[in-house]
Chain A
Amino acid sequence: MLNTIILITFGALSLSLVAGLIRLMIGPSLPDRVVALDLIAYILIAFIATYCVFTDTSDFIDAAIVVALIAFLGTTAFARYVLKAGQNSTDDKI
């Protein structure tokens, strides 16, 4: 029973990962992309936690901590960059 639940969770998390990647690609401005990256980090943390339950190993929790740390540092750096780069960075059409 738990295995089915875990597979459903993996499927839902993969779908939301696809949604985050779509927003990362089409996001009309740089801050939209940064928010999408933030969301992808949260989904990754949930993914790692589900994988821990799935494989019955608790070692990957440390990886979740590291992902949370890197996501925070990355968002902070991007916020500084957006503020410094100014108007030009927000209407990129890449």
Chain B
Amino acid sequence: MSEIFIAILLLSGSFFVVVAAIGVLRLPDLMMKMHASTKAGTLGAGLTLLAVSVAFDEISVLTRVIATILFLLLTAPIAAHLIARSAYYVGMDLWENTIIDELKNERAENNSATNGVTAEMNSKEESDAR
């Protein structure tokens, strides 16, 4: 009986991981790639980990599996948000058919601000070199 559960969990987990990999390989722009890898990837890894907890039927394994899944669920959105934010403000191109880009003005301001900062840093480095 539990073998059937393990089989279902393993197969669905690997299915979602394959979906995530296909998404990262085929989708056109960084935001879409990240959406594929973060959501489908976390779900796939979580389901496979759940298969382990069903297979062993021990409280210590169950605790570690739940800790890992909770950690994944907490950190995956943070990491995706961080990399998306820095890529966007650095000037990543969106897909050409993107309908709305609500942060366009803010990005322009931030870009000029960071350019100013880098210019300052460059001049500081030059003076340090002297």
A62 to B49, CA, bound (A): 12
Q: Indicate if the CB atoms of A45 and B45 lie closer than 8 Å.
A: yes
**Contact-residue size bin, chain B (C-beta under 8 Å from the other chain):** 35 or more
Q: Indicate if the CB atoms of B90 and A87 lie closer than 8 Å.
A: yes
Residues in B with CB closer than 8 Å to A85 are 90
Q: Indicate if the CB atoms of B91 and A87 lie closer than 8 Å.
A: yes
Bitwise interface map of A from 1 to 22 toward B, beta carbon under 8 Å scored 1, else 0: 1100110110011011101101
Number of interface residues of A (CB under 8 A): 53
Interface core residue of A1, A35, A71, A80 (most chain B CB under 10 Å): A35
User: Which A residues form the contact surface with B (CB < 8 A)?
Assistant: 1-2, 5-6, 8-9, 12-13, 15-17, 19-20, 22-23, 29, 31-32, 34-36, 38-39, 42-43, 45-46, 49-50, 52-53, 56, 58, 61-62, 64-65, 68-69, 71-72, 75-76, 78-80, 82-83, 85-87, 89-90
